[in-house]
């Protein structure tokens, strides 16, 4: 890994602008305390999208987790296979999964591992949506997480790594959905960040752009992921994408991904 080329100040500015835009939308529309039948009819269905007839449901982001909790009883699964490596080395194959479920009102569970073969820990996260608008499609959440052993932990490393953070979602109905979050891991003295934009091109084609990386002492990484998801059936999507390292500090040059996205 080499010295950083993406400043922490620039990243924090992007995160603050994103959160400010979401919070402005929330207070402009009022917090989600309306329990009238009209408001209930607009509560989100699968993946935070409104149930109103004619409104298109969006797929999940590719790797980014959602900025607000699912509604109670909802379940989403993303299963991903990928090949990654540096241009002058053989590519390595790995797999990822992301499960998210709505447990109670504004309270959800995320279970995630982005490198099943090479990462001996799986992230288990509980999320609470502290601010939410009347539609249930925009909000700000806080979460706590523990990376628990799912493989052999190298000698001398902590078996469990704690994390906490903040996430947000902004929806432009029938046009785009923005999700973003920041994780901080005190034991490792590092932070992870990610932000996504899922756009609607047609009723069955959804372009996606994601940015993400890590901030450690003395270095910062940044990756970009352009992708496409295709609707196979309601609540069923298949996606393809290529993730590219943009900083001199990086774990790979390119990563080619194939994903199945399902929800119930």
Q: Which regions in the chain score pLDDT beneath 50?
A: 1-17, 19-20, 22-24, 27-55
Rounded Cα distance between 58 and 234, Å, is 10
Q: Identify whether 2 is part of a domain.
A: no
H or E segment at 8? helix 8-29
Q: Identify whether 109 is part of a domain.
A: yes
Q: Identify whether 1 is part of a domain.
A: no
Tokens 């959800």, located at residue? 108
121: Cβ–Cβ under 8 A, 6 or more apart, which residues?
113, 147, 148, 149, 150, 151, 153, 161
> Distance between alpha carbon 94 and the CA centroid of its chain, in Å?
19
Q: Identify whether 148 is part of a domain.
A: yes
pLDDT in tens, 28-66: 444 443 433 333 333 444 444 444 433 458 999 999 999
Report if pTM > 0.75: yes
Domain with residue 116: its CATH number is: 2.40.160.40
Rounded Cα distance between 131 and 118, Å, is 36
Q: Which of 142, 206, 138, 198 is nearest to 170 (CA)?
A: 138
Rounded Cα distance between 122 and 132, Å, is 28
Number of domains in the chain: 1
DSSP three-state, residue 48: helix
Q: Is 179 exposed, middle or buried (0-12, 13-18, 19+ CB in 10 A)?
A: buried
**pLDDT value at position 56?**
54
Spatial contact of 57 and 235, defined as CB atoms under 8 Å apart = yes
Q: Identify whether 92 is part of a domain.
A: yes
**pLDDT value at position 155?**
86
H or E segment at 23? helix 8-29
Structural domain for 194, as ranges: 8-263
Rounded Cα distance between 78 and 66, Å, is 12
97: Cβ–Cβ under 8 A, 6 or more apart, which residues?
77, 78, 79, 80, 111, 112, 113, 116
Q: Identify whether 217 is part of a domain.
A: yes
**pLDDT value at position 22?**
47
Q: Identify whether 3 is part of a domain.
A: no
157: Cβ–Cβ under 8 A, 6 or more apart, which residues?
none
**pLDDT value at position 16?**
47
């Amino acid at each position: 890994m080499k010295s950083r080329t993406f400043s922490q100040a620039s990243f924090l500015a992007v995160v603050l602008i994103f959160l400010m835009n979401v919070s402005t939308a929330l207070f402009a529309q009022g917090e989600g305390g309306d329990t009238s039948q009209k408001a209930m009819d607009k509560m989100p269905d699968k993946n935070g999208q409104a149930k109103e007839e004619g409104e298109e449901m969006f797929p999940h982001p590719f790797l980014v987790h959602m900025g607000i909790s699912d509604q109670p009883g909802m379940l989403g699964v993303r299963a991903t296979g990928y090949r990654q490596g540096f241009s002058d080395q053989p590519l390595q194959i790995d797999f990822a999964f992301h499960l998210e479920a709505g447990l109670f009102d504004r309270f959800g569970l995320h279970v995630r591992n982005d490198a099943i073969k090479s990462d001996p820990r799986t992230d288990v996260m509980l999320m609470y949506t502290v601010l939410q608008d009347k539609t249930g499609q925009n909000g700000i959440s806080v979460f706590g997480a523990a990376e628990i052993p799912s493989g052999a932990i190298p000698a001398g490393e902590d078996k469990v790594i704690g994390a906490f953070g903040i996430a947000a979602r902004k929806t432009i109905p029938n046009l785009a959905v923005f999700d973003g979050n920041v994780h901080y891991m005190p034991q490792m003295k590092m932070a992870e960040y990610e932000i996504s934009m899922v756009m609607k091109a047609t009723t069955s084609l959804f372009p996606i752009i994601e940015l993400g990386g890590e901030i450690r002492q003395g270095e910062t990484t940044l990756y970009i992921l352009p992708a496409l998801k295709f609707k196979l059936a309601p609540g069923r999507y298949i996606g393809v994408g290529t993730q590219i390292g943009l900083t001199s500090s990086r774990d790979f040059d390119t990563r080619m991904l194939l994903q199945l996205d399902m929800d119930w």
